[in-house]
Amino acid sequence: MLELDQKINTQFAGLVVRKDLVKTVKGNAIVPSYVLEYLLGQYCATHDEATIQTGIETVKEILRKHYVHRNEAGLIRSHIKEKGRYKVIDKVGVDLNDRNNRYEAAFENLGVKKVLVDSNTVKKHPKLLVGGVWCICDIEYEFTEDANASPWLLSSLKPIQLSHFDFDAYIAARQQFSMDEWLDVLMQSIGLNPQVFSRRSKLIQLVRLIPFCERNYNLLELGPKGTGKSHIFSEFSPHGTLVSGGEATLAKLFINNNTGKIGLVGYWDVVAMDEFAGSNKRPDIKLIDTLKNYMANKSFNRGTGPQGAEASMVFIGNTSHTVPYMLKHANLFLDLPETYRNTDGQAILDRMHWFLPGWEMENLRSDMFSQGYGFVVDYLAEILRSLRNHDYADGYQTYFSLSADISTRDRDGIHKTFSGLMKILFPHGEANKEEIEELLKLAVEGRKRVKDQLMRIDSTYAAVNFAYTDTAGHLFPVTTLEEQQYPHHYHAIVNFEEDDSSLTALFDQPVTQTLTPDKTPLLKEKHVTVLENQSGISYDHLFGPYLAEATQITLTDPYIRMFYQIRNLMEFLETVIKHKPEDSEVRVHLLTTEDEFKGDQQTDNLEKIKSACLAAGVGFTWEYDLSVTIHARHIITNHGWKILLDRGLDIFQSYDMSDSLILANRLQQFRMCKAFEVTYIRHEVVMQSAS
């Protein structure tokens, strides 16, 4: 076990489960993860391997006997008839039959309707009336000759969710973890492998949890398909429900005027609307008006008097264009229905507390899923739900204050996001200045993304200085990643009346000095910064022009050991080959350190690179520094340049190197970067020939 997994098991004994077990037991059962983890939590919440294996078999047996597969529903109904009573795991919904004055349940997979339910069960579990709930039920069958009577009877019902928890124990155990450790605990708890995500990506993933712990939180996420946008809202918590955008009606979401029945927002903590994007869709104007009022005032009125609710709203949609395309031709809301981009619909967008940049999330692949330990998700879901009663919105004010011209609506969005992040990461309310600043910047950034795009749609929105100051009065402007990555598109006005592609540039330089991949670097001394999750960066762009005229190059990087690092080296040499004249030869010398455990394999790989490069006119040599540990990482050329690399060649985040049919594997500019800096300085040194 990893050290973190051991710590999780020690501090949260009996409340965690190995996350890869879900796939092991799921089979072909179409059932949410929280249902499976509820069962795993009963039998496999341990790190003892023998107990885990026994528990897996127990859970599999329970699913085999009691989970209702739709294609076996007839067999299960027969069991119930023959035995008179049988236990099933199914999704159960309840409706009131007002003609007969009784509640009747419908079992989704079993295919049984009009199952009698007593009023006390419905009062105890009102969510049965809206959307349905996964339950463990005892259902009985008793034949009757009365044609109006149902032979089915619900004997007992237990929703699959945690019945109780010790919040104080949770807080005490949380304090035993650093922020980095806790980030990884939460990532593993939602089923993701923290080792393949950057820190920024981890934080963005966890923003998806804010609606579960913050009342009336409005979150928008737009991004490419396959990035797991809806997973959290369909699989993670028994307190959230996911509905298709096409199924979101006034009656379903708010209130049915014919029956007086309250909709989803009255019963669920989180209502997520999937498939929200689609420029050809025509949403109901009345629904937009009701949504607009609810998102602003936490209430709605459909002629029956005002009704209040606490459900957070999440809007999820796919994008069909790249970020630079959207910024050049319109805005980041380009894929939303036109109704949401006109005057009435803009009010919906303006009520979004945070705009999650889904384009920063990679398509989910096998190595992104966790095999370590994390919370049984219904335990974490209950913790988050209890945190809805807490408020950390002013937690930053000891150290920082927001810019005075930030409007009340913008400030509310920032406050709710910051409060949510504090609840998730620091539920005990204690964080240092640096940690608080990181969360505050992220909270400001997501709200700024909303407002900046609204300003591109409607010029009547006033410009806002999204910034904060510290107690010494220093001002810190906040920018979005796409603003720094594509400043020439971001800081531009799109003239929609003339042509969507008509741009008038307002700024030629980025807000901060960052490397923009669209412009070729000039051969001059400079310092560039690449941001975490930035893409469009390659060795060709970073180093190519500075290596073009060199005949001798020395690369110093202590970490050329593991396969991906060896591959980075090979790609660096490819850049040397691309930029050298065809009729010239170049010598490249590597100074690195030998791997303590796999030195022979490391040497063998370097020998293969040496042989491969000879055919291209590159003489590659290397040496292991045996005397001291190398700290500096740099490139030195014999024509007067020294390039300082704070991360060496290791600038890219994890990607699937085994899939040769993805662009990230073929082209560096399609990989997301780690945060790093490069400094180019003139260095008049005559280099010695490498032996």
**What b/e readout covers 432-469, taking b as 16+ CB neighbours within 10 angstroms?**
eeeebbbbbbbbbbbbbbbbbbbbbbeeebeebebbbe
Indicate the pLDDT class of residue 146, thresholds 50, 70 and 90. Answer: confident
DSSP 370-420: --SEEE-HHHHHHHHHHGGG---TTTTTTTEEE-TTS-HHHHHHHHHHHHH
Q: How far apart are CA 565 and CA 552, in angstroms?
A: 22
Residue 533 Cα distances to 232, 355, 418, 520, angstroms: 21, 16, 21, 20
Asked: is 70-159 a CATH 3.30.420 domain? The reply is: no
User: CATH homologous superfamily for 175-368?
Assistant: P-loop containing nucleotide triphosphate hydrolases (3.40.50.300)
pLDDT at 28 over 50: yes
Between these two residues, 331 and 505, which has the higher pLDDT value? 331
pTM: 0.85
Residue in 214, 207, 185, 187 with CA at minimum distance from that of residue 198: 187
pLDDT tens-digit map of 248-296: 888 899 988 887 788 999 999 999 999 988 877 887 888 889 999 999 9
Angle between helices 3-11 and 179-189 (to 10 degrees): 80
Predicted confidence at residue 218, as pLDDT, reads: 98
pLDDT tens-digit map of 377-427: 889 999 999 999 999 999 999 999 999 989 999 999 999 999 999 999 999
Q: Which of 54-58, 85-89, 625-629, 662-666 has the lowest mean pLDDT?
A: 625-629
User: CATH homologous superfamily for 526-682?
Assistant: MITD, C-terminal phospholipase D-like domain (3.30.870.30)
Q: Is 44 left (phi over 0), alpha (psi -120 to 50) or beta?
A: alpha
Predicted confidence at residue 340, as pLDDT, reads: 87
Indicate the pLDDT class of residue 465, thresholds 50, 70 and 90. Answer: very high
DSSP 144-177: -S-TTS-SEEEEEEEESS-----HHHHHHHHTTS
Q: How far apart are CA 459 and CA 310, in angstroms?
A: 33
pLDDT at 160 over 90: no
Residue in 554, 559, 545 with CA at minimum distance from that of residue 586: 554
Predicted confidence at residue 261, as pLDDT, reads: 83
Between these two residues, 434 and 131, which has the higher pLDDT value? 434
Predicted confidence at residue 163, as pLDDT, reads: 66
Q: Is 661 left (phi over 0), alpha (psi -120 to 50) or beta?
A: alpha
Domain spans of the chain? 70-159, 175-368, 526-682
Predicted confidence at residue 130, as pLDDT, reads: 83
Indicate the pLDDT class of residue 131, thresholds 50, 70 and 90. Answer: confident
Tell me what the mean pLDDT of segment 138-144 comes to: 90
Contact 587, 622 (CB under 8 A): no
Helices (H), 471-560: 481-485, 487-490, 539-547
Contact 673, 535 (CB under 8 A): yes
Tell me what the mean pLDDT of segment 550-562 comes to: 95
Chain length of the chain: 691
Predicted confidence at residue 522, as pLDDT, reads: 67
Reduce the DSSP state of residue 217 to 3 states and report it.
coil
Predicted confidence at residue 550, as pLDDT, reads: 95
Predicted confidence at residue 499, as pLDDT, reads: 37
Predicted confidence at residue 1, as pLDDT, reads: 61
Can you read off the two tokens belonging to residue 550? 């060199």
Q: How far apart are CA 172 and CA 105, in angstroms?
A: 42
pLDDT at 495 over 50: no
Helices (H), 426-467: 433-457
Maximum Cα interatomic distance, the chain, rounded to a whole number of Å: 103
pLDDT tens-digit map of 444-457: 999 999 999 999 99
pLDDT tens-digit map of 163-202: 678 999 999 999 999 999 999 999 999 999 999 999 999 9
Predicted confidence at residue 41, as pLDDT, reads: 87
Predicted confidence at residue 521, as pLDDT, reads: 52
